[in-house]
Structure 1
Amino acid sequence: MNLSSTSAKTDFIKISAALLVPFIGLVALLVFAGDASNGDDFNQAKLHQVNVVPLEQQQAYQQQRIVYGNIEARRTADLGFEFAGKLASMNVDEGYYVKAGDVLAELDSSRLQAQLNAQKAAQKRNDANEALAVSTLKRVEDLSQRNLDSKQRLDESRQQLKSVRATREEINANIQRLQVELEKSQIRAPFDGYVVAQYKDAGSVISPSAPIITLREFGELEARFAMPMRHARTFSNKNKQTVHYLNVGEKQYAAKLKSASPNRNLQTRTVDVIFTLDEGQDTLLPGDLIALAMREVIQEKGFWVPKSALNSGVRGLWTLYTVADTQKQQVIAKSVELLYSEDNKAFVRGTFTDNELVVVSGVHRLVPNQMVVAVMQNAGVMAAKGHYE
């Protein structure tokens, strides 16, 4: 081996080591200096930042209920004749609009008209008999005063006049009865409305009380809801001026309470509550489904929280994360029971205290006992009771 080559290599290693040691020392010095000045900020920056809000215990909550009912006309009538006969004419058809008093259908009244004519003729004959009886009585009374006629004759003349007048009353009664029957041989509209059904045509033989036409009133519409008693009792007949809002699809209609029935339907075990709609005749039809949103007070203690604060737990429960204070904190997981939820809020029951801070954002990224930076959210989010109650 060449001694000069070996010596050169040894010198190179010594020089490299001499240069490397100060460089390593400088790097180590810079690292330690950096850790000493920025370690806390670096660790703080790595912590997850969460928003928290204080809880406020409630003694009860309002649960929204949607009750469905049906649109009805204020009046609907099945019209028919009171006695049998042959249907002579049908003056309307389904869909016709009629006014109160219009003649809708008529029975063949030729027999009644003949009987009426006979009674009017009998009335004329009786008028003649009455005039004769009056004249006869006057003559007999004059003769009797002069003792030219017997008292028996006088009594007979008086009774004859009474009999003729009684016959007149009987004929008048028969005429009145026939006129009523002639009137009842016509079906007249009892109110303004639409013919929604026609069951017979001209020429049909009609049975007594058989429906011929169904007439539905045009005008005010009503909404009928069958409710449980606990819901129906919230509507008082004393507050009929209160405006309620009913919904058909996305359209809303103003209505006022008409009546809350004091009786229970024995078949459905419900109570009927009826509202009168101020508008909607042009857009609603009887039979349409209509909805009423109402709130029921549930006496149950708990807390309103945003839905974003809930994290799924086990065995049907949910989890909320709480912290002791703001700034750097450790989250604590607590199981809660979900009692009710709507929109963006939920009412829960659990072992909490008033003003305890609950995490309301980013809970899906948290685990129990994780260190976080807690920041108080805008007070208006939870403080506004109208938003969470």
Structure 2
Amino acid sequence: MEGRPGFKRLLRALASTSGVLLIIVITALSIQALQQQAGADHNDSSGEAALLPVSTLALQPESGFTTTARLTGRLHPAREVALAFEPAGRVVDIEVALGDAVSEGQILARLDTRRLLARRAEIQAQLDETAIALELARLEEDRQQSLRESDLNTRQALDRSRTERRRMEAMLSGLHAGLAGVDADIDDSALRAPFAGRITEKHIELGAMLAGSTPAFQLMDHRRLEALIGVPASKAAALVQAGETVTLNSRGQDFTGTVRSLIPEIDASRQTATLIVDVDNGNGLIPGQLVEWKTETLIEEPGYWVPTTALASGERGLWSLLVAEPDSNGIAIVRRASVEYLHGNGSHVFVRGTVNSGALVITEGAHRIVPGQRVQLLRQATP
């Protein structure tokens, strides 16, 4: 009987705890119901707010695209020649050094001419002697001609005197030719520059004994340059015409040139033809430098320019675009269009395929969208 009041107190405590728990459960269920109702009301009021917004580009048809080709070549001197002494002799004077700039007609080196001068004096003496003998032969011929007219000598005597005169004339002509040859050798013993330029090679030394036609110097016209550029054989004739002005570049320096000609021969290994361009202003340029020519070619092929970001890989070597087909409320359905990649310039690509002019191409975020998805259209990008 003494334990019954404690038991009653326990029953009252349990009843109080159960009431609190019941109140908590009822409150939580009420809050959840209110949140669900609020979410339903929000969805009913916002409509399509959950649709993904996309930017699009309206396709504009193009008749073709321009490609830029970078063709390379090398600078060469327009004139370069190996200079040599024609006669043999000993080098007694060298007036230029390797790398010197020379003017047209400037003497570069000389050979010893003492033997040539002695030979000239010898021939001159023979020539003088022969000239005297020729004068006597002419006088004798005139005398025999007078005697023959008076029937005081024979025809044979006249013929002999005439033949002697002719022999002396032939001998005199030969001596004149020999003298001219010696004079030419004396003149050629002084090696002169045939044009203004720069000495790029030197093969002789002072005191050296040279045989005839031994190379002495290499002379280059450094002021006049030409560019030899390899161009595709299939497009060579269409790229440029003789007389046309082109812009070239070498080591970051732009300069102009005039097309001289196209060598009518194909390099079998590279399938290129050689274009010759006369450099209009070669200041600061050096033979042997690489030269680049950027040329643009119009490819007539209908298609569309689209941003690179709009392109996705497709099947069988093709690419794909996502096209948005809108309704009157600005909501669009996405479909896939297959296209062929024709040309690219880094930020844009030129394509053709199953798209029409004016189609709205999704320009960004194509990886987040699948065909059949509904999207919200935003601004249109510029081509």
TM-score class, shorter: 0.7 to 0.9
**Residues 147/337 of structure 1: CA separation in 2 closer, same or farther (3 Å cut):** closer
| Residues 11-42 of structure 1: CA deviation (Å, up to 9, x unaligned) | x99xx99xx9xx979968994895377323xx
Residue equivalent to 1:188: 192
Tell me whether 1:342 sits opposite 2:370 in the alignment. no
Contact 1:306 1:345 in 2 (8 A): yes
Q: Which residues of 2 match residues 1-389 of structure 1 at below 5 A?
A: 31=38, 35=42, 38-40=45-47, 43-44=48-49, 46-56=50-60, 60-82=64-86, 84-237=88-241, 239-240=242-243, 242-266=244-268, 268-279=270-281, 281-298=282-299, 302-311=303-312, 318-325=319-326, 327-375=330-378, 377=380, 381-382=382-383
For residues 106 and 265 of structure 1, the distance between their equivalents in structure 2, rounded to whole angstroms, comes to: 43
Contact 2:309 2:363 in 1 (8 A): yes
Let me know the Cα RMSD of the aligned residues: 3.9
Q: What displacement does 1:74 show?
A: 1.0
| Residues 317-337 of structure 1: CA deviation (Å, up to 9, x unaligned) | 644221113732233344544
| Residues 174-198 of structure 1: CA deviation (Å, up to 9, x unaligned) | 1122222333333321211111111
Instruction: Note the residue ranges of structure 1 that are not aligned, 5 or more in a row.
Output: 383-389
Three-state SS of the structure 2 residue aligned to 1:106 is: strand
Three-state SS of the structure 2 residue aligned to 1:230 is: coil
Q: What displacement does 1:75 show?
A: 1.0
Q: What displacement does 1:209 show?
A: 4.2
For residues 217 and 29 of structure 1, the distance between their equivalents in structure 2, rounded to whole angstroms, comes to: 92
Q: What displacement does 1:79 show?
A: 1.8
Contact 1:227 1:270 in 2 (8 A): yes
**Residues 144/26 of structure 1: CA separation in 2 closer, same or farther (3 Å cut):** closer
Q: How many residues align?
A: 373
Instruction: Note the residue ranges of structure 2 that are not aligned, 5 or more in a row.
Output: 1-7
For residues 357 and 208 of structure 1, the distance between their equivalents in structure 2, rounded to whole angstroms, comes to: 82
Q: What displacement does 1:225 show?
A: 0.7
Whichever residue aligns with residue 265 of structure 2, its letter is N
Contact 1:231 1:296 in 2 (8 A): no
Q: What displacement does 1:221 show?
A: 1.8
For residues 140 and 120 of structure 2, the distance between their equivalents in structure 1, rounded to whole angstroms, comes to: 30
Whichever residue aligns with residue 256 of structure 2, its letter is A
| Residues 50-89 of structure 1: CA deviation (Å, up to 9, x unaligned) | 2222334556543321111101111111222345444333
Q: What displacement does 1:105 show?
A: 2.7
| Residues 119-140 of structure 1: CA deviation (Å, up to 9, x unaligned) | 1111111121122223333444
Contact 2:222 2:287 in 1 (8 A): no
For residues 264 and 28 of structure 1, the distance between their equivalents in structure 2, rounded to whole angstroms, comes to: 82
Whichever residue aligns with residue 360 of structure 2, its letter is L
Task: Tell me whether 59-68 or 221-230 shows the greater mean CA deviation.
Answer: 59-68
Whichever residue aligns with residue 357 of structure 2, its letter is D
Q: What displacement does 1:113 show?
A: 2.6
Q: What displacement does 1:169 show?
A: 0.8
Of Structure 1 and Structure 2, which has the larger fraction of its residues in strand? 2
Percent identity, aligned pairs only, is: 27
Residue equivalent to 2:4: none
Whichever residue aligns with residue 83 of structure 2, its letter is L
Question: For the pair shown, which has the larger CA radius of gyration, 1 or 2?
Answer: 2
Per the normalisation by structure 1, the TM-score is 0.79
